[in-house]
């Protein structure tokens, strides 16, 4: 479902393979062997041919759709109904942990016909390694599967019953597998190689036979991945041997066991568990990085240390310390020689992604998160293991303050929203808390000299914030100086949540929050970033609304916090996915779905209510 460019999707995966499933049961994204790159799918969905209505894709009218997850798992169920054909299809999608295979189980039912003949088609259009050029598709008789490959990326698609036909084709020519289906049969072309930019595709068909009224029949498709023909066929054979039921049970047991590791809650338990599962799927199993969102439009499938740390601290707070530790090890691998981090990174392996400027808060936040991890775990071995990274980072921040700072404030850089160069209040708050955390760590490890110098550097930032960012005439903290921007911005809350520069009772903070409350008046409700925001038209965001909810919870204004949190849960998708934004007038989800930071803030809010540190 596309809403102003937004793709509404659920996700399944195992932290190595990450798959987006659209509202219509179509595959929207497929990331492998990393959860960020490459993205291999152009389009993939099913079609149905009946002797009464002919052929139609399940993504076209008159099909209707509903979706849900199977309990607290990453097993996604899509129900598709076609009243004209009298057919209902239930699709169950999941990735068994560690198997590098997507399982797509179809249950086809005759709902309204006395008798009907049915064939199930499946269309697979890949852009392997994010290119259409050079892809090859062929039918393998030994495995009864279609294989598509390019370089070291191989994909096999086959079922748990023998197919009735196949077609390997090229876009926009006589062999096109998308166009070959409409007569209810496939031509059987066994091989196609892309010589230009048109790309290749494939369709497969299974004759399900005659259905009596109310009869149901099942078929399971396996989309396997490997680095060569042998590995991809071995993966397919293993999946067929284990079967749908065995793989389903394995996947269900995995998620049940994983959730049992963490803390449970009383408030919003379903939203909480869905957020935990979503964040887990955004954590890379091998390297430990955490992507912002499984989204190419907008292109958020990178690791920002800012987003990653918010997600890591939410998981940490919920009891998933191993995931947090792995993320900080990833940060150690990604750290630049200077001691800081660039804007964003490819996760696997850590490589700098496209960047449009320095953001010093993304360095401060890592130290802040590591200090928080220690406060939760009291694990001195974690501090020792990461001491050299911590020292290098804190010294980098102190050096940037001394060489490029003014009046104790940090250097000019892009701010939280990555739009303008200035000295931002949020960036300075993040660096203050990062240096303070580093000072605490140094003291615990007996590094008194470093502890003292970093504590002094943090103190200078706090003094600079008090002198430079408070606007007494307006009665609120301002967004930035050098140049001055007096706009109200939700990022002002960083002074108390999460960075604790000032007390929650500080009257200047309270006054600023009151001004923020009065500023946002969207028809759809919610809280935005700042009044003049134009990104996607300027809308309320889930994470900003929850940010204010967390503040209210800490400040003892629990009813206000509850109202904002319920607004957020009310604007989740049918699957409980939290988007980045909500349309200011219609209330529709916008931008990336799901956004990891949105889910992280939901977990932080819920645990704040539970009085969990």
Domain boundary among 490, 518, 546: 518
Q: Are residues 369 and 250 in the same domain?
A: no
3-state secondary structure (DSSP) of residue 527: strand
Task: Enumerate residues 6+ apart whose C-beta is below 8 A from 153.
Answer: 32, 38, 40, 128, 129, 225, 227
Residue 611, pLDDT score = 82
pLDDT in tens, 258-310: 999 999 999 999 999 999 999 999 999 999 999 999 999 999 999 999 999 99
pLDDT band at 613 (very low <50, low <70, confident <90, very high): low
Asked if residue 612 has pLDDT above 70, the reply is no
Q: Are residues 220 and 366 in the same domain?
A: no
Rounded CA separation 607/613 (Å): 8
Domain boundary among 497, 518, 539: 518
Rounded CA separation 446/466 (Å): 31
- Calculate mean pLDDT across residues 531-560: 97
Domain assignment present for residue 606? The answer is no
Asked if residue 195 has pLDDT above 80, the reply is no
pLDDT band at 210 (very low <50, low <70, confident <90, very high): very high
Selection from 50, 49, 32, 53 nearest residue 41 by Cα: 32
Residue pair 136/148 in contact (Cβ under 8 Å)? The answer is yes
> Minimum mean pLDDT among 82-91, 169-178, 567-576: which range?
169-178
Domain assignment present for residue 323? The answer is no
Domain assignment present for residue 332? The answer is no
3-state secondary structure (DSSP) of residue 506: coil
Domain assignment present for residue 585? The answer is no
Q: Are residues 253 and 363 in the same domain?
A: no
The encoded tokens of residue 138 equal: 């062929």
pLDDT band at 3 (very low <50, low <70, confident <90, very high): very low
Domain assignment present for residue 231? The answer is yes
3-state secondary structure (DSSP) of residue 407: coil
Asked if residue 516 has pLDDT above 60, the reply is yes
Q: Is 292 exposed, middle or buried (CB count within 10 Å of its CB: 0-12, 13-18, 19+)?
A: buried
Asked if residue 2 has pLDDT above 70, the reply is no
Residue 1, pLDDT score = 37
Residue pair 393/434 in contact (Cβ under 8 Å)? The answer is yes
Q: Are residues 118 and 247 in the same domain?
A: yes
Q: What is the CATH number of the domain that holds 409?
A: 1.50.10.10
Residue 289, pLDDT score = 98
> 506: domain range?
356-518
- In angstroms, what CA-CA distances link 318 with 263, 312, 569, 577, 584? 5, 10, 19, 19, 32
* Mean pLDDT of the chain, nearest integer: 96
- What count of residues does the chain have? 613
- Strand ranges in 172-249 using DSSP code E only, listed in sequence order: 191-193, 200-212, 216-226
pLDDT band at 196 (very low <50, low <70, confident <90, very high): confident
Q: Are residues 381 and 247 in the same domain?
A: no
Q: Are residues 13 and 158 in the same domain?
A: yes
Domain boundary among 518, 553, 583: 518
- Calculate mean pLDDT across residues 472-495: 96
pLDDT band at 496 (very low <50, low <70, confident <90, very high): very high
Percent of the chain at pLDDT > 90 equals: 95
pLDDT band at 197 (very low <50, low <70, confident <90, very high): confident
Count the domains in the chain. 2
Domain assignment present for residue 251? The answer is yes
Asked if residue 5 has pLDDT above 70, the reply is no
Residue 134, pLDDT score = 85
Domain assignment present for residue 205? The answer is yes
- Strand ranges in 396-437 using DSSP code E only, listed in sequence order: 413-414, 421-424
Name 106's bridge partners. Answer: 91, 219
Rounded CA separation 85/62 (Å): 9
Domain assignment present for residue 162? The answer is yes
Per the listing, tokens 């892809």 go with 135
The encoded tokens of residue 69 equal: 């997850």
Secondary structure string (H, E, C) spanning 95-152: CCCCCCEEEEEEEEEECCCCEEEEEEEEEEEECHHHCCCCCEEEEECCCCEEEEEECC
Asked if residue 37 has pLDDT above 80, the reply is yes
The encoded tokens of residue 234 equal: 């071995």
Residue pair 533/525 in contact (Cβ under 8 Å)? The answer is no
Q: What is the CATH number of the domain that holds 146?
A: 2.70.98.10
Per the listing, tokens 């109904």 go with 81
pLDDT in tens, 144-167: 999 999 999 999 999 999 999 999
pLDDT in tens, 577-596: 999 999 999 999 999 999 99
Residue 198, pLDDT score = 80
Asked if residue 456 has pLDDT above 80, the reply is yes
Rounded CA separation 491/424 (Å): 9
Residue 173, pLDDT score = 85
Rounded CA separation 363/342 (Å): 8
- Calculate mean pLDDT across residues 520-537: 97
State the pairing for strand pair 87-94/76-82. antiparallel
Asked if residue 238 has pLDDT above 80, the reply is yes
Asked if residue 250 has pLDDT above 70, the reply is yes
Residue 148, pLDDT score = 97
């Amino acid at each position: 479902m596309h809403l102003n460019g937004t793709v509404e999707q659920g996700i399944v995966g195992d932290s190595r393979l990450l798959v987006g499933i659209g509202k219509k049961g179509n595959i929207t994204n497929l990331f492998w062997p990393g959860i960020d790159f490459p993205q291999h799918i152009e389009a993939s969905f099913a079609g149905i041919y009946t002797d009464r209505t002919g052929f139609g894709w399940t993504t076209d009218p008159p099909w209707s759709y509903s979706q849900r997850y199977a309990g607290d798992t990453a097993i996604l169920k899509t129900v598709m109904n076609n009243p004209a054909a009298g057919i209902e299809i239930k699709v169950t999608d999941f990735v068994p942990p560690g198997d590098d295979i997507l399982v797509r189980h179809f249950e086809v039912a005759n709902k309204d016909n006395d008798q009907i003949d049915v064939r199930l088609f499946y269309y697979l259009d890949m852009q392997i390694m994010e290119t259409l050029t050079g892809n090859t598709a062929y039918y393998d008789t030994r495995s009864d599967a279609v294989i598509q490959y390019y370089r070291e990326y191989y994909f096999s698609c086959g079922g748990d019953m023998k197919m009735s036909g196949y077609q390997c084709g090229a876009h926009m020519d006589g062999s096109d597998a998308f166009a070959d289906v409409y007569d209810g049969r496939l031509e059987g072309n066994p091989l196609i190689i892309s010589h230009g930019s048109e790309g290749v595709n494939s369709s497969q068909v299974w004759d399900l036979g005659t259905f009596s009224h109310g009869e149901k029949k099942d078929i399971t498709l396996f989309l396997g991945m490997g680095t060569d023909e042998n590995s991809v066929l071995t993966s397919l054979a293993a999946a067929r041997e284990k079967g749908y039921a065995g793989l389903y049970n394995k996947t269900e047991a995995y998620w049940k066991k994983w959730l049992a590791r963490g803390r449970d809650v009383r408030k919003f338990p379903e939203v909480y568990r869905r957020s935990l599962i979503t964040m887990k799927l955004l954590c890379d199993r091998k390297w430990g990085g955490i992507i912002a969102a499984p989204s190419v439009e907008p292109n958020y499938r990178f690791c920002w240390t800012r987003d990653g740390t918010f997600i890591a601290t939410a998981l940490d707070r919920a009891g998933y310390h191993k995931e947090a530790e792995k993320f900080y090890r990833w940060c150690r691998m990604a750290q630049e020689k200077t001691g800081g981090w660039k804007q964003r990174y490819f996760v696997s392996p850590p490589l700098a992604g496209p960047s449009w400027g320095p953001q010093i808060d993304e360095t401060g936040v890592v130290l802040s998160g590591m200090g928080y991890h220690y406060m939760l775990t009291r694990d001195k071995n974690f501090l020792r293991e990461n001491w050299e990274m911590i020292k290098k980072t804190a010294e980098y921040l102190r050096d940037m303050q001394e060489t490029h700072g003014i009046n104790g404030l940090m250097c000019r850089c892009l701010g939280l929203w990555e739009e303008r160069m200035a000295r931002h209040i949020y960036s300075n708050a993040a660096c203050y808390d990062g240096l303070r955390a580093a000072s605490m760590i140094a003291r615990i490890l007996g590094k008194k000299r470093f502890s003292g110098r970093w504590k002094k550097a943090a103190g200078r930032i706090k003094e600079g914030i008090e002198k430079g960012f408070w606007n007494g005439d307006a009665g609120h903290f301002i967004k930035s100086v050098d140049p001055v921007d007096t706009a109200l911005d939700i990022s002002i809350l960083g002074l108390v949540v999460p960075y604790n520069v000032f007390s929650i009772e500080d009257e200047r903070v309270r006054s600023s929050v009151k001004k923020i409350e009065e500023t946002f008046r969207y028809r759809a409700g919610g809280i935005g970033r700042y009044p003049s925001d134009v990104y996607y038209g300027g809308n309320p965001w889930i994470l900003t609304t929850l940010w204010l909810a967390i503040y209210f919870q800490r400040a003892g204004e629990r009813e206000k916090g509850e109202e904002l949190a319920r607004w957020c849960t009310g604007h989740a998708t049918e699957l409980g996915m939290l988007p980045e934004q909500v349309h200011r007038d219609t209330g529709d989800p916008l931008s990336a779905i799901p956004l990891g930071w949105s889910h992280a803030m939901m977990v932080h809010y819920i645990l704040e209510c539970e009085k969990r540190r």
